[in-house]
Structure 1
């Protein structure tokens, strides 16, 4: 084995063989070629740099214990490893994957082939194109390609070899990337002017809030809080994105910023995309900030017209410290003379019109954006120095992965899941996203569990019915909440640790991930049961989504989910831009690289 491996690498000009002890050295020494040098020590795997004729061999590889050889492009994500941000890695590619080549466009990878050219054998990637054309790309040119990921589902449009249409598409994508960066830089330039005041250092109110936090801050949470505090104590306006998986503690970062702003006699707006999420933030804010004397109000459809009018009067007279609400906060009649800080939760879920209003507000006040949509690592690298981003990747202590099962629908499985949760005094979500058939499921569940309290929640309900139902579930007075996707964002009930999702095949991957994130917010083991109808054929895409959600159960797997789905659909609009039209032809990874080029 040793002799064979060394023979295969003899054409390299420099070979370094790593051995741990004299015994290993003795075994190897006899068969070393003149270009080889013995090195005392060990490396986990052999690494080759074909373009430099350089080779590092581990003894374990030579002896057959670990026969894998890692090429230059497969050694991980170390800085400077590739020429560009999103270059593909060979180990990440599977036959059938779509690739974007810088010069030739989108093709389909068919696997590795050995090609003989000028009496020399070369390992190449075989890439086919729409016209039947084939490109054989030597593996040393791997930095010319990106793994293609589009901005949504649907058919992938492959390029035609030799056609100028690809160059036009690439040129347009490059122009929009420049436009995005130019817009971001313009916003940053406008915000580089001093705001006219500086927040004071952390006072007694801040310290009291910090000490009242019932959990130990995670390392990433601490970093995010420190970054926000440091931002606020500078003269320049704050513009920071706090990004973290569902339930990882982004709201606590926001609360620290709120108390710091209120302590400096500034009003804060806390903007949420849904009524339920706004209500959740309002309840938590009242619980954490109310005892500190912070005057808090809620502005959403849960409030009557007279109540809204009264709140707006209080606001204009400077008697409200924190106003929590939906896009209603962006209306022209909402006037806050002392407005200093805007916190936006899940900005990408707002409509284009509301995003434009938020964008216009940005230059004038401090803004902190919270997002459970994981930021693609490639996109983050592209925006270094332009966008301030804090990532919370560490899960809260004692948090357990959610046990996820995909199954054909059957009522006995429902009974088992409900009884298991009730036996530990927990609560259950039963998600059925069809309002018309909710009464049937309510009747069936009531018959199966006559002693349990079952509530219904959906978006078409009147406020006077929906709000008491949601509040009762918060309070633990309802055992089973039969609901639609209205609970996708906003319901944070630590005692609810079982979720049943019916017709799971109809949901997108990121949506399933967000919905599943409603449970598992306490040290208790959480369960997610995804039902598909028996006897109904499920298309290939739906099958892949369900397989992925069942596979990605580990804590912090939002980034894996995002790579499959959420990054692609949400990343284009994450900072208030809709670029999917120009992003689709080149793919997400290459677009990130164009962003990086534009920002350099």
Structure 2
């Protein structure tokens, strides 16, 4: 193991096979920091490797390098996919309807909210899907940022999906969205099979598929393969089909909005 003796100059020693020799303080600090980071990640103190066992040390370094290379390959592939996927961006000019919606907000937006409004808007004007994580304390105004993105999505003839971790939070979000959004925006709730009669769930899925649902809020049920993608979103005001695209957001009680795939990498 590596230990620091409280001597005159805080000398650092390495102990191996009953012998002791002085090593540099930087090596000790590096090992200590690495051990601390590993302990934080795993929740337990890691066992230090024996550098004297050269074969075991080389094998462990080789495994770590291979694992890091595999992770890097996955991340590179992920970013390549993001660049390949394209979408029709939102209209650069906000409509009078959206401006009235903004003015109806009952609070004065904070500086951070205004910055987030602008950043999310810029993301939605790009031809590639948005990939943004929004973090903040409870009550800092994250939900309003998400709601404005959802309404801009709806006005640009798209559907929106809001993914949340619990059914209680889903119900709360449905109430908030119905209260905040105009009455002509349809907001539906989709939970697991135990929460919906089969007839009601069939109605929700059909509304998603034919485009009569503007916004759907749900838990993991939104990720199941039975959810219809929708070939066209019906414009009830103009009587013609509108392109259907989904945007999604998730929120936890700690205060973040975003998503991750099954392997923990950002989507």
Residues 263 and 111 (structure 1 numbering): CA distance in 2 closer, same or farther, change over 3 Å?
Answer: farther
Contact 1:299 1:324 (C-alpha < 8 Å) held by counterparts: yes
Residues 109 and 234 (structure 1 numbering): CA distance in 2 closer, same or farther, change over 3 Å?
Answer: farther
Residues 237 and 293 (structure 1 numbering): CA distance in 2 closer, same or farther, change over 3 Å?
Answer: same
TM-score normalised by the chain length of structure 2: 0.75
Find the structure with the greater CA-based Rg. 1
CA deviation vs aligned residue, 1:190-240 (integer Å, no higher than 9, x gap) = 121362411113323432333333333333333333221111101122122
Contact 2:83 2:128 (C-alpha < 8 Å) held by counterparts: yes
Matched, 1:277 2:176: no
Q: Kindly report which structure 2 residues correspond to 1:508-587, keeping only aligned pairs within 5 A, or say none.
A: 576-577=262-263
Matched, 1:138 2:24: yes
TM-score normalised by the chain length of structure 1: 0.36
Please, which runs of 5 or more residues in structure 2 have no aligned partner? Answer: 231-243
Shift of 1:270: 0.7
Residues 139 and 183 (structure 1 numbering): CA distance in 2 closer, same or farther, change over 3 Å?
Answer: same
Tell me, in whole angstroms, the C-alpha distance in 2 between the residues paired with 1:159 and 1:296.
56
Shift of 1:159: 1.9
Tell me, in whole angstroms, the C-alpha distance in 2 between the residues paired with 1:226 and 1:237.
16
Residues 136 and 370 (structure 1 numbering): CA distance in 2 closer, same or farther, change over 3 Å?
Answer: farther
Question: What residue in structure 1 maps to residue 180 of structure 2?
Answer: 288
Matched, 1:316 2:2: no
Contact 2:16 2:52 (C-alpha < 8 Å) held by counterparts: no
Q: Kindly report which structure 2 residues correspond to 1:448-467, keeping only aligned pairs within 5 A, or say none.
A: none
Q: Kindly report which structure 2 residues correspond to 1:43-442, keeping only aligned pairs within 5 A, or say none.
A: 110=4, 113-114=7-8, 124=11, 126=12, 136-139=22-25, 144-145=30-31, 146-147=33-34, 148-149=36-37, 150=39, 151-164=41-54, 165-193=56-84, 195-201=86-92, 202-289=94-181, 291=182, 293-301=184-192, 302-337=195-230, 338-345=244-251, 370=257
CA RMSD of aligned residues (A): 3.1
Shift of 1:267: 0.6
Tell me, in whole angstroms, the C-alpha distance in 2 between the residues paired with 1:135 and 1:287.
71
Contact 1:318 1:336 (C-alpha < 8 Å) held by counterparts: no
Tell me, in whole angstroms, the C-alpha distance in 1 between the residues paired with 2:158 and 2:75.
26
- Structure with the higher fraction of residues in strand conformation: 1
Aligned residues: 241
CA deviation vs aligned residue, 1:497-535 (integer Å, no higher than 9, x gap) = xxxxxxxxxxxxxxxxxxxxxxxxxxxxxxxxxxxxxxx
Contact 2:209 2:228 (C-alpha < 8 Å) held by counterparts: yes
Contact 2:14 2:23 (C-alpha < 8 Å) held by counterparts: no
Residues 168 and 255 (structure 1 numbering): CA distance in 2 closer, same or farther, change over 3 Å?
Answer: farther
